[in-house]
Structure 1
Amino acid sequence: MTDHADSGATPERTAASTEAPPFDPSEPLPRLRRELATGPDGLSAREAARRLAVHGPNEVRRKVRSSFARELVGQLVHPLALLLWAAAVLAFVADLAVLGWAILAVIAVNAAFALLQERQAERAVETLARYLPEHASAVRDGQPRVVEARDLVPGDLILLDEGDKVPADAHVTDGGVEVDLSMLTGESVPVERIASAGILGAPLLEEPNLVFSGTTCVGGQARAIVFATGNHTELGRIAALSQRTRREASPLERQVKRVAWLIAGVATGMGVVFLVLGVAVGLPVTDSLTFAIGLLVANVPEGLLPTITLALAVGVRALARRGALVKRLSAVETLGSTSVICTDKTGTLTRNSMRLRALWTVDHGSEPGPWAEELARTGALCTTVTREADGELHGDPTEAALVAGAADHGAPLDLGRRDAGRRALFRFDPRLRLMSVVQGGETRGGEMQGSTRIVVKGAPEVVLDRLLPGTGTDEARAAAEELARDGMRVLAVAVRELPRGAELPSRRQDAESGLTLLGLVGLYDPPRSEVAEAVRRCHEAGIRVHVVTGDNGATAAAVAREVGIGVPSLHVVAASESLGDDELDRLLVEGDDEIVFARSSPETKLKVADTLREHGRIVAMTGDGVNDAPALHRAHIGVAMGRSGTDVAREAATMVLTDDDFATIVTAVEAGRRVYDNVRKFIVYIFAHATPEIVPFLVFALSAGTVPLPLTVLQILAIDLGTETLPALALGRERSEPGIMQRPPRPRHQSVISRDMLIRSWGYLGLTSAVLVMAGYFYVLWRAGWQPGDPTEAGSPLHHAYVTATTATFAGIVTCQVGTAFAARTDHAALRDIGVFSNPLLLAGIAFELAFTAALVYAPPLQHLFGTAALPLDVVLLVATFPVLVWGTDELRRARRRRQLPSAACSVPAVSVPPWSRRKGG
């Protein structure tokens, strides 16, 4: 549960992004009744039915979903999906029905997964709707009735009792209730809502006479007039914001689309060009068509999309074991490009475990003694926490800290005797910023007998203003400021002795005035021990960290500095709600400081996220309340708290922290960078095989058919969908390379496929593999006495040699894959630096592809299906050298680059480092 330190502020009445209710609830009650055309007896049933037709049902409505067919078509025409469709069609054209159906299955799985992702925002809205009760008590035709909550309309008079959920936003007309507003404000302490005048200029959620849909009455009874229903309520406003903030495609999703279109264009263009070329050089049309189909299949990386999907899924599982539940696969990669983290304070940077740290008394300052014990014990009296059967304190963390602190200072409090001696309780009021109890004495004949006093605790500036006239407060104010600068939450404790026999006072009768100050208590929520190291790693990685909190600026700044945020320069914004777009641009984009946004509301979070996105930053935003949902949904990575967060926040977020720990976010960022690097590694691996698959067809075409086709279409598909998939997945499990968190975030526009990657894949690795593969092919043919132009079709003397030669080409590509897999494990470092056997999954994947290849080469049923033949020993020994030759040439290339470049920086994207990431220590 989040204490009110992180959520003391509330949304302003006129947020730009909200839809105002049709009636102004802050108007005086008589005028509001006139506008709503209602009275003390409520509405008639007929009038309620008419208004229901006008205003609609009282429910959180979501936008009309687009048709399932349209969404499905959208997924099936994704560029990579189109390439897979082409591969499937080619498989069926080549009479390879089994592989064709397998490709179609891959298309279906990917489309289904994407459709599930698109429902995320709607699930968040549906979760909001669950906060509404099904029934409500309303006065209709002058009589109390139980009606369906969805049938309530503006002007209805509703009855509220302890335990009820408030069914609509309403203005209290009679009585009073205590309401749990934590789902809207994060406040853990119930607030009082009574029939009273409003406060001019107060935020809507702080009006003393308003209750809100979805909140819970924890005590009291009241009547209230409904002024807003459905999407006009605060709950509906949040739902509308969640739906308006659409999720944009992640950087990886956009880049994969661009790459897919590029590959599709190249593959189609090459197929058409060489089809025409084949006809031009005199090839039969059937041979030219076969050549074009083979070229297309060789260019289409059929395994790319499923490999990326499965690699991201592996990243998701790894993060889950570390306490971060990622709900969208592409978010793993987005985490790696995060450049700004906006975090809460309480429970994320700190332990959310208050401790009594300092006591200051009027006459003795911070000096320990019986006066300090009395201050601690008196402060503990002004609490409502209870003790569970296991001895744990249950209730507000601040009050639990007071009770535990009293015991630590030698003044333990018996909670049973505290409650037995209590004569009245005035709960914490966020407007007054204090609470009080009437303690001691007995009631006889309606009068108080014995010693009785009022104990008050609250914000120092409020309590000090209520002291007896002439009481010096300057020293107390200075002490309170000093404690706040040390990161403590400061409360003042004061008392008022009641005369013997005096009547029991009420809050309206200024019970909390004429006070005598006992002293100040300083409560401290210590930072998590691992946060400082996590912040240091953020700074080394070029990631900026801002704190967006409802706490006051001094306390939040002290915690931020203690964990290293804003070192050496921290900017504190005390009135975050008043910030305009120009000021946010100046602070977040033009300035170098890390910032504490104090007294912030969820709208502040949304504005901060929008500003950072507008300027190209990749934003991770934490939150735990219902009203954090829009900002969580708007950020690239919305991070919800698993322990203290609400269901709505968890639904709206992309990632849920099961431990509510900031350090887990940094762990997830590192994992995202590792996943991105590994995606690039297996793209190098997959693309490297395009060259040895294309070259045989080029040799066939350029020789005008005098050299028979060295590779069949089915064998290409066996490579692309069979042998290369598991090693590619294993490359997705590579550990982080050294220095991964010492480089700045990559630019948003950086492509997942770079020019250097293509040169390495198609040039060095691919060309080396193609030369070796063609050497093996011609070795088998020439050994059998083949000469260019000799017939090799079925029935000819050289047909078996030709089948053996194509098998050698197929086996040669597979063994070259083994060398490519080892080479792709690192972009710069030597293989020995990361360990030859440090990735056991890769070794298992290589073992599988070799076993799969052996089955295709030596198993008679598969020989017939794939057009292969058993390889003699000398050919086996020849292709067995290919892995070492492929890996060795790339190892020499990397060694040359290491000599040319003095550091390992060549594996780091060439980006500009923000000024704030170059500070000393960060």
Structure 2
Amino acid sequence: MHGPNALALREAQQWPVALLKQLSHPLALLLWVAAVLAWIAGTRELAWAIVAVVVLNAALAFWQEEQAEHAVEALGEYLPQHSEVRRDGRVSSVLAADLVPGDVLLLGEGDRVPADARLLSGALEIDASALTGESSPVERAADLPDTALRPVDSPVLVFSGTVCTGGAAEAVVHATGRHTELGRIAALSARVRLAESPLEHQVRRVAWLIAAVATGAAVVFLPLGVLAGLSWTQAFLFAIGLLVANVPEGLLPTITLALAAGVRGMARRGALVKRLSAVETLGSTAVICTDKTGTLTRNVMRVAEARDGLGSLTSADPALTTALARCTTADPRAGIGDPMELALLVFAESSGLRLAPETRDSQRIRLFRFDPHLKRMTTVDRVGDGYRANVKGAPEELLTRCTSALSDAGAEQTLTDRERARLAAVVDGMADRGLRVLAVAGRAFDHPPEDRAVVESQLCLLGVVGLIDPPRAEVAAAVAACHSAGIRVHVATGDNGRTAAAIAQQVGIGADHVVDGPALDAMPETDLDALLTSGQEIVFCRAAPESKLRIADALHHCGQVVAMTGDGVNDAPALRRADLGVAMGARGTDVAREAATIVLTDDNFATIVSGVEEGRRVYDNVRKFILYIFAHAVPEVLPFLLFALSGGAVPLPLTVLQILAIDLGTETLPALALGRERAEPGLMSRPPRQRTESVVTGRLLLRAWGIMGVVSGILVLLGFFAVLLAAGWRPGADVVGDPVLHHAYLQATTVTFLGVVFCQIGTAMASRTQYAALRDVGVTSNKLLLGGCAFELAFAAAIVYLPALQAVFGTAPPPAWAFALLAPFPVLVWAADELYRARSRRAFDDEMP
């Protein structure tokens, strides 16, 4: 009835289905159509070449995407294979998957809890950080009162996936598999669907735009061609050519390879990307929700300030440092223990107190572990002929339990309400400076006490210490870069709200509003949406897994592209839901790393910002090579329109085979090189793109079709007619039957082909920038582009001069004077666009205050 004690895994997608998705992408479908049309046109070799492009591109994208999400599967690794249980009075080892409610577990130090259970006897120290995000171990005991508001905070419950770090206990299983707390988080992760990235959405839009333009041109062409005097057969055949001319065969592989190059660039910056489109998603990020500890800070704590029981600064109060040394379980020599306790021991030793861990432990009578619900930890130690309790914890908890305070001089005095208020103000001031504040208290006993409530009452306040996990040096500049780029930064942390806000402000994050977990849970959706769209930067503290998921959902609902960091099991649902889940590689759990799209190898916030810059550069470059590819549609389409509108009086200036040679041969390498273009000046000064903003804008189409395309089209037709007219051709003349005119026609189509290639060089140089002048990025700074241009010239020369390729592509070496005509084509195309960009820059400067 309960099923196996295992997490329900989503049905894995079979690899043929995944590969088929890549082969049926809208752009891939257009390539299939191009291949079919090439086959119909009789160019079967190039039809097979297009098929090869589709298959190779699909295989590359499939291989990249196969590093898919295994968040739920990784959660399963948190369950042990075998567990010790008592059934029918007998102890035996059973498979964890066979556990059922009612089984009695025998738990001890080092065991991983296999199911959710309630303690029957004994006590345990539990590391529940993977579930709760709290780094300190918690105490669980069968005899503790259960007053917790949340099940995960209950002192009598243990949960699957947590680890026993000390003690021994028996517990009865009450939930297994998907009914456990871990199973609930797994279900949250499984229900969250991966949203289509902005680039994936825009590429689909581009594909349908191309399909609409190509189909529309062909549909318009058919009646125009017939009306101009072509037969229906001729009109249909050249409509096919028009479709092929409008399909950019190299666009899909160019996008895939540009994203793959972005993935490699991110890896060099310390970010491992598991999904190709995530590079661009990071570039369009408008909001970053970040952890504090280890991401904004160094995760290396130290004591920055110490005060006596009356709130006065002190440097080496013996009572205070002794209590700090005794009320710990850490061992600094072995590097074992909570970072905070290690920092306290370093402080005590620097103050002159040396207490070996083995001596400390041998003198300890009782240990009450830190409890996040009680917010304190206590030890009872044998000191001389008596016993002494040492307590450390949250000041607001300890001050209410103290009846006296110890000054730096060693004098004990009664705590009055006035003194309590002054101490509370001192603590608040320390927290406002970004310090994590701990109060330390003590009490002497003649006999060892047993009850925790007695031990932690009528205490003497020994002092308070302020610890700091200093911000990473590079984070402030990274946050400033975010603000310059129009990106807001929210903080989601398990730390105290005042401390988190202070650290946030130190690194430049606004921290305009602090919202704790209960307040967030009680906040209506409309209020949360209003808060997240208010332009403020928020500090969220004490957030449950559902709360972080809710934040990600709300930001997505508000149309914000959000990157969210996380490191624990409890972060997995939010990491999956966010547009970009960013896991910590150094301190993160396997579950978080599997749920995330990007893993930071250095856990550094600055790496996220570097990724934003890389993502913006990649997206800009996608636009650049789309501009470059689109610009060649006009000089490829104009010859067909001229042929059709003349009713065949003007022979076709460019053949379908030559178009495919351009789209799959000369065009590809320069397009790939544009994908490696360096960032333009001012890249990180722009606001984030809107999720709805198209990769193809009106300005891009104006540059591609209205400026560079038109100039290129006029120039190549000029070359075509110059060669034909020089040979004595007149409109309507037979260029097939007349040997002289036929040779001149082959030369003329060759000049048209070469004219497109020469114009491509000018287009490539113009496409390198969106606004900046070419001199600002450097004419020779993109060595790959120069190599790509050299390759396309060599490839074109081979088509023109190699006899075997002449026969395939219908080319003939043009007259020498034709090259003098072709030589200025690159400069003319580039100059036309350079003038337009200069005008755009002036208009932009005029708008600036």
Range of TM-score over shorter length: over 0.9
Change (3 A) 1:627 1:509: closer
1:700 maps to which of 629, 639, 643: 643
Q: Deviations over 1:860-915 (max 9, x none)?
A: 2222222222333222232222111111222222233334442598xxxxxxxxxx
Residues 574-583 or 479-488, more deviating: 574-583
Code of the aligned partner of 2:659: I
Q: Aligned partners of 2:57, 2:186: CA distance in 1, in Å?
A: 29
Instruction: Give the conservation status (yes or no) of the 8 Å contact 2:497–2:514.
Output: no
Change (3 A) 1:641 1:494: same
Q: Aligned partners of 1:116, 1:839: CA distance in 2, in Å?
A: 29
Change (3 A) 1:762 1:260: same
Instruction: Give the conservation status (yes or no) of the 8 Å contact 2:624–2:767.
Output: yes
Shift of 1:717: 1.1
Change (3 A) 1:114 1:833: closer
2:109 aligned with 1:162 = yes
For residue 431 of structure 1, what is the aligned residue in structure 2? 373
For residue 324 of structure 2, what is the aligned residue in structure 1? 379
What does 1:842-921 align with in structure 2 at a 5 Å threshold? 842-902=785-845
Q: Aligned partners of 2:794, 2:737: CA distance in 1, in Å?
A: 28
Change (3 A) 1:646 1:105: farther
Q: Aligned partners of 2:607, 2:176: CA distance in 1, in Å?
A: 40
Q: Aligned partners of 2:143, 2:55: CA distance in 1, in Å?
A: 61
2:75 aligned with 1:128 = yes
Q: Aligned partners of 2:667, 2:847: CA distance in 1, in Å?
A: 29
1:496 maps to which of 443, 446, 450: 443
For residue 484 of structure 2, what is the aligned residue in structure 1? 540
For residue 664 of structure 2, what is the aligned residue in structure 1? 721
Instruction: Give the conservation status (yes or no) of the 8 Å contact 2:564–2:575.
Output: yes
Q: Aligned partners of 1:849, 1:691: CA distance in 2, in Å?
A: 19
Code of the aligned partner of 1:407: E
Where do 5+ consecutive residues of structure 2 fail to align?
405-413
Q: Secondary structure at the match of 2:455?
A: coil
Shift of 1:197: 5.1
For residue 14 of structure 1, what is the aligned residue in structure 2? none
For residue 286 of structure 2, what is the aligned residue in structure 1? 339
For residue 403 of structure 1, what is the aligned residue in structure 2? 345
1:189 maps to which of 136, 147, 152: 136
Shift of 1:604: 1.8
Q: Aligned partners of 1:58, 1:651: CA distance in 2, in Å?
A: 22
2:467 aligned with 1:467 = no
1:243 maps to which of 167, 171, 190: 190
For residue 564 of structure 1, what is the aligned residue in structure 2? 508
Which TM-score applies when normalising by structure 2? 0.94
For residue 671 of structure 1, what is the aligned residue in structure 2? 614
Change (3 A) 1:581 1:777: same
Change (3 A) 1:468 1:889: closer
Q: Secondary structure at the match of 2:367?
A: strand
Shift of 1:806: 1.4
Change (3 A) 1:240 1:108: farther
Q: Deviations over 1:106-150 (max 9, x none)?
A: 333444455567777751111111111112222223312222211
Instruction: Give the conservation status (yes or no) of the 8 Å contact 1:622–1:638.
Output: yes
What does 1:63-462 align with in structure 2 at a 5 Å threshold? 63-65=10-12, 71-112=18-59, 123-196=70-143, 198-362=145-309, 365-368=312-315, 370-371=316-317, 374-388=319-333, 393-441=335-383, 450-462=385-397
Q: Secondary structure at the match of 1:791?
A: coil
Residues 795-804 or 701-710, more deviating: 795-804
Code of the aligned partner of 1:747: Q
For residue 908 of structure 1, what is the aligned residue in structure 2? none
Q: Aligned partners of 2:588, 2:143: CA distance in 1, in Å?
A: 33
For residue 424 of structure 2, what is the aligned residue in structure 1? 477
Q: Aligned partners of 1:454, 1:571: CA distance in 2, in Å?
A: 35
Q: Aligned partners of 1:119, 1:837: CA distance in 2, in Å?
A: 37
1:815 maps to which of 755, 758, 775: 758
Change (3 A) 1:740 1:364: closer
Code of the aligned partner of 1:723: T
2:548 maps to which of 605, 617, 627: 605
Shift of 1:318: 1.1
Instruction: Give the conservation status (yes or no) of the 8 Å contact 2:68–2:275.
Output: no
Residues 884-893 or 468-477, more deviating: 468-477
2:499 aligned with 1:555 = yes
Where do 5+ consecutive residues of structure 1 fail to align?
1-53, 442-448, 906-917
For residue 39 of structure 1, what is the aligned residue in structure 2? none
Q: Aligned partners of 2:826, 2:167: CA distance in 1, in Å?
A: 79
Instruction: Give the conservation status (yes or no) of the 8 Å contact 2:617–2:679.
Output: yes
Shift of 1:798: 2.5
Q: Aligned partners of 2:68, 2:268: CA distance in 1, in Å?
A: 25
2:717 aligned with 1:770 = no
Q: Aligned partners of 1:507, 1:191: CA distance in 2, in Å?
A: 18
Share of identical aligned residues, percent? 60
Change (3 A) 1:112 1:626: farther
Residues 71-80 or 661-670, more deviating: 71-80
Q: Aligned partners of 2:310, 2:278: CA distance in 1, in Å?
A: 58
For residue 47 of structure 1, what is the aligned residue in structure 2? none
Shift of 1:77: 3.1
Q: Secondary structure at the match of 1:247?
A: coil
Q: Aligned partners of 1:479, 1:898: CA distance in 2, in Å?
A: 55
Q: Aligned partners of 2:785, 2:510: CA distance in 1, in Å?
A: 43
Q: Aligned partners of 1:786, 1:407: CA distance in 2, in Å?
A: 99
Instruction: Give the conservation status (yes or no) of the 8 Å contact 1:175–1:194.
Output: yes
2:464 maps to which of 497, 511, 520: 520
Change (3 A) 1:720 1:556: same
Q: Aligned partners of 2:172, 2:514: CA distance in 1, in Å?
A: 44
Code of the aligned partner of 1:458: G
Q: Secondary structure at the match of 2:164?
A: strand
Q: Secondary structure at the match of 2:55?
A: helix
Q: Aligned partners of 2:688, 2:513: CA distance in 1, in Å?
A: 22
Shift of 1:740: 1.9
Q: Secondary structure at the match of 1:387?
A: coil
Q: Deviations over 1:428-462 (max 9, x none)?
A: 22222222223345xxxxxxx63542222111122
Aligned CA RMSD, in angstroms, stands at 2.4
Shift of 1:277: 2.8
Q: Aligned partners of 1:102, 1:257: CA distance in 2, in Å?
A: 23
Instruction: Give the conservation status (yes or no) of the 8 Å contact 1:557–1:572.
Output: no
Q: Deviations over 1:471-501 (max 9, x none)?
A: 44514333222211211111111222232xx
Code of the aligned partner of 1:716: I
Instruction: Give the conservation status (yes or no) of the 8 Å contact 1:326–1:655.
Output: yes
What does 1:821-832 align with in structure 2 at a 5 Å threshold? 821-832=764-775
Q: Deviations over 1:155-192 (max 9, x none)?
A: 22222222222111111112222221111112223222
1:650 maps to which of 593, 598, 611: 593
Shift of 1:570: 4.4
For residue 686 of structure 1, what is the aligned residue in structure 2? 629
